[in-house]
A = this chain, B = another copy of it.
Amino acid sequence: MGTLMIIGGAEDRTDNMEVLKRFIALSGGRDQPLVVITAASTVPEKVWPMYEGAFGALEAQQVRHLQIAEREAAEDPALADAILSAKGIFVTGGDQKRLMAIVGGTRAGHALREAWQERGACLAGTSAGASFVCTHMMAEGRAELAPEKGAAKLAPGMGFVPRVVIDQHFSQRHRINRLLSVVAQSPFLLGAGIDENTALIVHGDAGLEVAGEGCVTVVDCRDAHTNIIDIAPGSVPEMVDVRLHLLPAGSAFRADAASGANAGQLPADAKAAPQPLNDFIRYLTKDH
List A residues at the B interface (Cβ < 8 Å): 145-147, 171-172, 174, 176-177, 180, 195, 214-215, 219, 225, 235-249, 251, 274, 276-277
Contact = CB atoms under 8 A, between A and B. Distances in A.
A146 B180 contact: no
Contact of A215 (B195, B236, B251): B236
A248 to B, nearest CB: 4
A274 B146 contact: no
Given A146-B171, A242-B243, 4 more contacts: A146-B214, A176-B176, A239-B246, A240-B277
Contact of A244 (B195, B244, B248): B244
Contacts of A147: 246
B237 A242 contact: no
A243 to B, nearest CB: 6
A32 to B, nearest CB: 32
A164 to B, nearest CB: 16
B239 A276 contact: no
B248 A215 contact: no
Count identical subunits in the complex.
2
7 smallest A-B Cβ distances: which pairs? A236-B248, A145-B171, A239-B246, A242-B244, A240-B245, A146-B215, A244-B244
B239 A244 contact: yes
A248 B148 CA distance: 10
Given A146-B215, A171-B146, A276 B240 contact: yes
A42 B235 CA distance: 38
A214 B177 CA distance: 13
A185 B57 CA distance: 41
B245 A241 contact: yes
A225 B274 contact: yes
Contacts of A171: 145-146, 177
Given A146-B171, A180-B246, A244-B244, A238 B214 contact: no
A146 B238 contact: no
A246 B148 CA distance: 12
Contacts of A277: 240
Nearest to A226: B246
Contact of A237 (B241, B248, B249): B248
Nearest to A274: B240
A172 B239 CA distance: 19
Contacts of A174: 174
Residue with the greatest number of chain B CB neighbours at <10 A, chosen from A238, A242, A276: A238
A243 B219 CA distance: 10
A215 B274 CA distance: 31
